[in-house]
Every structure is written in structure tokens, then in C-alpha cells.
Amino acid sequence: MTKRGKFGDRPGVPDDALDAPTRAGAPLPLVTHPMAAVRPPTEGGRALAHTLALPPESERGLALEPGRPTVSMQPPMTPAGLSTGRDPPPEIGLTQHHLPDDATPDPRLILHLDPDSERAAQFRVLRHHLLECGRPQVVVVTSAKAGEGKTTTAINLALALAECGRAKVLLAETHLRRPQLAGVFRFVPPWCFAEQLAAHRHQPLLPWGLVDIPQLWLHVAAVNPRSEQAQLLDAPAFAIAMERLRLGGYDHIVIDAPPVFGTAEVNLLQDAADGVLLVARGRVTTAREMRRAVDQITATKVLGTVLLES
């Protein structure tokens, strides 16, 4: 059964639960320290491990040594596409969805399936590092090529940011040719996010239709895999959407984006985002591919890199 309602504060969350650092604070100094690998679930026949370390600011996370996964975070970015504040907040209609009890959850929902595991803890560390980078509101998560774990990273980063209602988080996808989120969370979007982008380009003040998953403290804007959407992302439509949704009360909007190689879509997305998080897979993604990906993206937009061990 579904229930529709307006976006609002979540009940039962004390003010002191919002324990993230303030936006105005300067980021903490960056240090380098290796961390031991952990054993995560498999994706595409390969195991994923999430181990984190911070390199010096001068390094852009391109040292892809086998066995030494890293997350490197860069200094705060200047927010892009911020509204002037004169526009009214958007109207957001929510369709409530509960993860089905009669189906095995998708293994990519690491923080939901195994919240006390070391794998889940590593995504909380990633959340901490991201908040040190000036609390970016719109974060694009991508990878050089397909199949390198960017959707897994985007989902669990969003879950970590929203955990226990500590922040209001929207997880949205823009990979129109290979949408994944509806399948991961096992719902049919009431209004396909790709169709909403097209509609709001011409009528920006239209209401938005999103899915609320109370178990996860998360809102989701998914592309309907059964719909016939355009093959290419409309950059002006995405920019308008981000400008409006920034006013919707969200602390963070995490974008599950297409891979960098093969299209220019990530270049279009970065202009409306505060930064890009680049995902790589150990012993699969090469240092040359990472450098090419950073070169294709605006280097100053790269908040950091996440290396998932095979």
C-alpha cells in the first residue's frame, strides 16, 4: 500500500542527531594512512572491498597500487547552480515504498543488509571525508567505465548520509540507458525521473514526484526501465532540476551518473553539481584510465576517488 504526502521534517529525529560539521567550517588537514582490506559482497562476479585512506592534498587519488584502495578528498568546491533565494521551494509529492519482506534484498544495499559490518563502516568513513570537503549538496558519482561499482557506491553513500535521519538525502539517477535504482529498491517509479526532467524544463514550477523509503530515511528519483526515454541527457533540464531540488530541503543530492568514457554526459552533469566522486576498481581500472577520466572531467570538480578492491 502506498501513501502520498508533502515533503517535510521526519518525525522522531532529535536536533542533536544532526551531528555533521557545519557548512562554514574549514576542512580538516588531509593525511595518508593505509587501511586493511575487507571482504564485501560480489558484483558482476567479482568481490568488492571498500578500504579508505587519505592522500596529501597535492595527490589527486591516482596512485592505483594493487592492495591499497584509497579515497582521496579535495578541498571544498564552490557550489554551482545555486538559486538566488527568490524562488519558492518546490512542491514535492512522495509515494511511500517499503522494501518487500518476501524478497531477498539486493546485495548492493550494504548498509541495509549488514549495517554493523566493516564494509558498512567504510561507507560511513567516506561520508565523514565527504563532509570535510565543505558539505557539498549535489554530488555526482561516476567511474571511467561501466561495471566498476559506481551504483553501489552512490547507493551506499546516500544511505550513509541519510542514516538515522541525520540528513535529508535524495538519491537520483541519470544513467538513462541502463537505469538500476528501480530494480535495486524493487519499485516502479510513479513518475519516471527522465520524464520529469523533460517536463520541468518547460515548466520548472511543476510539482515533483519522488519515492520515500522510510526504512532507509531516503528519497529516490529513479528512471523507469520500461519507459521509452531519450537516449541522451538534456543538460539544461538537469540544471533546472538541480536548481529547484536544491530548494527542496535536501542536505545532499547524490547522482548515480553514467560512466565517463563513451559520452559527454558527466561533463554536462558536473556544471550543475558541487563536485564529482570518481570510482575505480582495483586491478581492473588502470592509472591511465583514471587520468583520462579526470582529464575529461574538469579536474577541479573532482572531490575525490574511491577505489574498490576486486
User: What kind and span of H or E run contains 231?
Assistant: none
* CB contact burial 41-51 (16+ within 10 A = b; e otherwise): bebeeeebbbb
Compute the distance between CA of residue 247 and CA of residue 254 in angstroms, rounded to an integer. 15
In the chain, what percentage of residues exceed pLDDT 90? 62
278-292 CB burial, b ≥16 within 10 A, e <16: bbbbbebbeeebbee
pLDDT digits (tens, 9 = 90+) for 210-251: 999 999 999 999 999 987 765 678 999 999 999 999 999 999
pLDDT band at 309 (very low <50, low <70, confident <90, very high): confident
Residue 20: pLDDT band (50, 70, 90) is very low
pLDDT at 184 over 80: yes
Residue 31 CB neighbour total at 10 angstroms: 9
Among 247, 237, 230, 229, smallest CA distance to 201 is for 237
Does residue 46 surpass a pLDDT of 80?
no
39 has pLDDT over 70: no
Poorest-confidence range of 49-58, 71-80, 150-159, 204-213? Answer: 49-58
Note the pTM of the prediction, 2 decimals: 0.75
Please state, in angstroms and rounded to a whole number, the distance separating the CA atoms of residues 110 and 43: 12
Query: What does the pLDDT read at residue 86?
Result: 67
pLDDT value at 155 more than 80: yes
Burial degree of 277 (CB within 10 A; 0-12, 13-18, 19+): buried
Query: Is residue 195 over pLDDT 80?
Result: yes
Q: What integer pLDDT is reported at residue 227 of this predicted model? A: 79
* Mean pLDDT for the chain overall: 79
- pLDDT of 89-140, one tens digit each? 999 999 999 999 888 999 999 999 999 999 899 999 999 999 999 999 999 9
Q: Into which CATH architecture does domain 75-279+287-303 fall?
A: 3-Layer(aba) Sandwich (3.40)
Mind listing the pLDDT tens digit for each residue in 77-88? 434 444 445 678
CB within 8 Å of 236: residues ≥ 6 apart: 201
3-state DSSP call for residue 95? strand
Residue 73 vs residues 28, 154, 251, 256: alpha-carbon distances, Å: 11, 16, 19, 18
Residue pair 253/245 in contact by the 8 Å Cβ criterion:
yes
Average the pLDDT over each of 12-16, 207-211, 214-218 and give the range with the smallest value: 12-16
User: What is the average pLDDT across 174-198?
Assistant: 95
How do the domains of the chain map onto residue ranges? Answer: 75-279+287-303
Measured distance CA(85)–CA(286) in Å, rounded = 43
Write down the pLDDT at residue 65.
36
Cell of 16: 542533536
Q: What are phi and psi of 197, to 5 degrees?
A: -60, -45
